[in-house]
Amino acid sequence: MPKFNLRNLRDIIGIGKESAFETFFRNEINRGIFEPGSRLPNPVRLSVYYKVPVPNVILALRKLEKEGLLITYPGKGTFVMRKGHIRPSERLIGVICSGSSALTAHRTIAGIERIVTANGYGMMLKYTRDSQAREERVLKEMLNAGVEGVIIEPSQSQIMCKHMSLYRQMEEKEIPYVFMRSAYPQLIDRPRIMMDDRQGAYLVTRHLIATGREHIVGLFKTDDAVGAERHRGYVQALQEAGIYYNPELVIWFHSEDTVKKPEVALSQLEKEEIRFDAIQCYNDSMAAGVREYLTKNGKTVPGDVAVTGYDNSAVTPAGEIGLTTIVEPLELLGEMTAQLLLEQIAQVPDTESQVEKLLHPELIIRGSTIGTNI
């Protein structure tokens, strides 16, 4: 049998969908191309070579595991099943991601998986697309699957949780859970790992002020605690600089309005002749849309308007200026959240915890605010 060769496989299949990835591997295994007992590369490497999102790779491999074609040994990797091999029972950790940013999810999951597998657990991964209704469904699935603990990136965390009964059920069954990035108002005292979003927005706003901007539009998500924290950082930087807080320059949007709201709101500002010389966007994807809108309307970036992103996910096309943004230690976020959950499972007292609970972002300055990349 030929040995596994990433480059050959990449030439054979240029895929971007989980179903195609899953079908390809199922066919190759059934044809005997892969020797029983051979080890597959990890999902991150497969993602890079096939140009398939990491979550799609993970979900496809999980399906093939359920079919009995693959088997994962925690801390060792995923292997092709030998005929007659008996699958051991797997200890599972549930992971729920909002999935609002694909890049953020991929990096965070890589960190979670590294810790979870190294400690003898499998991972049951689900996405909610920022919907509390979906979160309720996947929590039920995880409880039925017998998970030993759950990591949760909450959906619309600024509003009240609508399925508190499931969290009470986990507590009654003594199934530990920890939150990642934010927590619901009713559960704000539960274990969680936070990213310092207030500091991130503060750094961006302070930088814009340092470049001479005083009329800074802030785009903040209203149904997510992350948005509220970033707004606080924005206000703090303005106050420290002695700049008047203009509520007309603060644009709040809901999860459902992420694509349309920025353009509509900016158009309204121009119609009302409200001056602005900088725009602080919620993420890099939004910043790309804002830059396109400004260009179509005859404005230059950063000459007329400076633009910033948040998450460092933008890929700058050749010939275009880079985007000033915030980079976050996402893999560390995943690792720390997984470690905190393992401490909860082991009933480690809070006073003895070895996990850092607040992680800090870094400002990356590029041409969208200063004119030249540095």
Q: Same domain for 79 and 222?
A: no
Q: Same domain for 220 and 366?
A: yes
Residues of the chain by 3-state class (helix, strand, coil), percent to 5: 45, 15, 40
Q: Same domain for 77 and 206?
A: no
Q: What is the CATH number of the domain that holds 59?
A: 1.10.10.10
Q: Which of 58, 88, 118 is the last residue before a domain boundary?
A: 88
Q: What is the CATH number of the domain that holds 323?
A: 3.40.50.2300
Note whether 372 and 145 are within 8 A (CB).
Answer: no
Strand partners, 79: 39, 71
Residues of the chain with pLDDT under 70: 1-20, 28, 33-34, 49-50, 73-76, 82-90, 100-104, 317-319, 371-374
Find tokens 């399906």 and name the residue.
63
Inside any domain, residue 334: no
Q: Which of 88, 121, 140 is the last residue before a domain boundary?
A: 88
Q: Same domain for 217 and 79?
A: no
Q: Which of 47, 66, 88 is the last residue before a domain boundary?
A: 88
Domain count for the chain: 2
State the Cα–Cα distance between residues 177 and 93, nearest whole angstrom.
10
Inside any domain, residue 305: yes
Query: So what's the pLDDT on residue 10?
Result: 45
Inside any domain, residue 292: yes
Inside any domain, residue 175: no
State the Cα–Cα distance between residues 115 and 35, nearest whole angstrom.
28
Query: So what's the pLDDT on residue 371?
Result: 60
Inside any domain, residue 166: no
Inside any domain, residue 323: yes
Treating both helix axes as pointing N-terminal to C-terminal, what angle do 54-66 and 43-50 enclose, rounded to 10 degrees? Answer: 120
SS3 sequence of 132-196: HHHHHHHHHHHHHHCCCCEEECCCCCCCCCCCHHHHHHHHHCCCCEEEECCCCHHHCCCCEEEEC
Neighbour count for residue 351 (Cβ, 10 Å): 5
Inside any domain, residue 215: yes
Q: Same domain for 202 and 324?
A: yes
Residues 6 or more apart whose Cβ sits within 8 Å of residue 288: 309, 314, 323
Q: Same domain for 201 and 73?
A: no
Residues 6 or more apart whose Cβ sits within 8 Å of residue 32: 1
The burial of 212, by beta-carbon neighbours within 10 Å (0-12 exposed, 13-18 middle, 19 or more buried), is given as: exposed
What's the domain range around 2? 1-88
Inside any domain, residue 135: no
Q: Same domain for 69 and 214?
A: no
State the Cα–Cα distance between residues 359 and 193, nearest whole angstrom.
8
Q: Same domain for 80 and 215?
A: no
State the Cα–Cα distance between residues 40 and 46, nearest whole angstrom.
9
State the Cα–Cα distance between residues 269 and 298, nearest whole angstrom.
15
**Helix (H), strand (E) at residue 219:** strand 216-221
State the Cα–Cα distance between residues 332 and 310, nearest whole angstrom.
17
